Amino acid sequence: MNQVTTTGQTVDKAIESALKELNTTRDYVEVKIIDEGKKGVFGIFGSRPAIVKVMLKIDPVEEAKQFLKDVCRQMDVDVTIHAERDGKRVFFSLSGENIGNIIGKRGKTLNALQTLTQIVLNHHSSQFLIAILDAENYRKRREESLIQLANHLARKVIREGKQISLEPMPSYERKIIHSALANEDRVTTYSVGTEPNRHLVIAPK
């Protein structure tokens, strides 16, 4: 049941009984007042009950979570998903066996799922939301290995005095490398090319 129409002495009372019937709270519904009602004289003569229509709001986070779950199940991967919203960013952390199939080579599949989840998320949301997917702490591990790679390549650039181009990466991965080398004053970093082939270059100063 997604919506009910209820009556009550006042609008508030009508809403209250609707919430009870839907077994939810005020935050998860949309209320449409059909009739505000009338108190009448002494509350007896000419009184008219208030009528409201209460609809369950579609929670974009729940909807996106369900989408992810369905897709993973179709990929024969059994996952548990934990969703958390922080302002306009929504974090989904996935865990389970065979999670490698969901991540893919260098996070390719995970990034694709992230794109799709974001669309589903915004399909039902009035505010623009950003989906961030993580699987078994993959993002954290990737960040560490990117920083390691950045430092390693920076040393090589300094040693050989020649610039090095990296492979194409999504913007947030490039950002990790840019900021990792921001304080290294013997090299400079910049990105060239257009998405999705935009890649980073580390050059000597």
Partner 1 sequence: MKQLIETIVKPLVEHPEDVQIDVIEERNHITYKLSVHKNDVGKVIGKQGRVAKAIRTVVYAHAQATEQKKVYLKISE
Q: Which residues contact partner 1 by CB under 8 A?
A: 63, 67, 70-71, 74-76, 101, 104, 108-109, 111-113, 115-116, 119-120, 123, 195-196
- 53 vs 198, beta carbon nearer partner 1: 198
Which DSSP state fits 44? T
CA 133 to chain CA centroid, nearest Å: 7
- E strand spans, the chain: 3-8, 29-35, 50-56, 79-86, 89-96, 130-135, 164-165, 187-192, 199-204
- 10 vs 115, beta carbon nearer partner 1: 115
Q: How far is the CB of 73 from partner 1 (least distance, A)?
A: 8
SS3 47: coil
Cβ(96)–Cβ(79) under 8 Å? yes
Cα–Cα distance measured from residue 84 to residue 81, given in angstroms and rounded to the nearest whole number: 10
Cα–Cα distance measured from residue 127 to residue 121, given in angstroms and rounded to the nearest whole number: 10
- 95 vs 98, beta carbon nearer partner 1: 98
Q: How far is the CB of 124 from partner 1 (least distance, A)?
A: 9
Q: How far is the CB of 68 from partner 1 (least distance, A)?
A: 10
Q: How far is the CB of 31 from partner 1 (least distance, A)?
A: 26
- 71 vs 201, beta carbon nearer partner 1: 71
Contacts of 173 (CB under 8 A, 6+ apart): 142, 146
- 112 vs 192, beta carbon nearer partner 1: 112
Q: How far is the CB of 88 from partner 1 (least distance, A)?
A: 20
Q: How far is the CB of 114 from partner 1 (least distance, A)?
A: 8
Cα–Cα distance measured from residue 96 to residue 15, given in angstroms and rounded to the nearest whole number: 41
- 89 vs 108, beta carbon nearer partner 1: 108
